[in-house]
């Protein structure tokens, strides 16, 4: 139990350092939300592909500083909006798979 707690604290530190001072994210009312975290999952939100790439780079780089590796096999990108577009983002040297529907802890995001 303590190891899980320590890992979650480390992940929060990584996320906080990576996104410190960040003004990128989905605008909800007057708040910009750039990330949602649950256990060892991080969901990033951005208004453009370039902004998403910037967030992904920051998380990837900061994770590496702490000896953590973002799973490229589990990483997916999704475009939500009126105009669906091809997401050409990179996680390190790998292009994540783009999905139409994303299942997150039993809920479907589409």
In whole angstroms, what is the distance from residue 42 CA to residue 17 CA? Answer: 14
38 and 109 Cβ atoms separated by less than 8 Å: no
**pLDDT tens-digit series, residues 12-70:** 999 999 998 888 888 778 888 888 888 788 889 888 889 999 999 999 999 999 999 99
Local structure of 79: helix, strand or coil: coil
User: Does the structure show a pLDDT above 80 at 103?
Assistant: no
Q: Which residue has the tokens 């139409």?
A: 100
Backbone φ and ψ for 78, nearest 5 degrees, come out as -145, 140
110: pLDDT strictly greater than 80:
no
- The HSE-up count of residue 92 (CA atoms within 13 Å, CB side) is 12
Instruction: Check residue 83 and report its DSSP letter.
Output: S
Question: What is the structure's pLDDT at 62?
Answer: 95
Note the pTM of the prediction, 2 decimals.
Answer: 0.83
């Amino acid at each position: 139990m303590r190891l899980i707690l320590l890992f979650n604290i480390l992940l929060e530190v990584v996320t906080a350092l990576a996104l410190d001072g960040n003004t990128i994210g989905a605008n909800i009312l007057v708040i910009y939300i750039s990330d949602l975290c649950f256990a060892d999952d991080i969901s990033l939100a951005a208004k453009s592909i370039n902004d998403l790439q910037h967030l992904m780079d920051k998380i990837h780089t900061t994770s590496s500083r702490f000896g953590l590796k973002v799973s490229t096999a589990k990483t997916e990108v999704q475009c939500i909006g009126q105009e669906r577009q091809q997401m050409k983002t990179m996680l390190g040297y790998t292009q994540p798979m783009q999905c139409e529907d994303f299942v997150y802890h039993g809920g479907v995001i589409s």
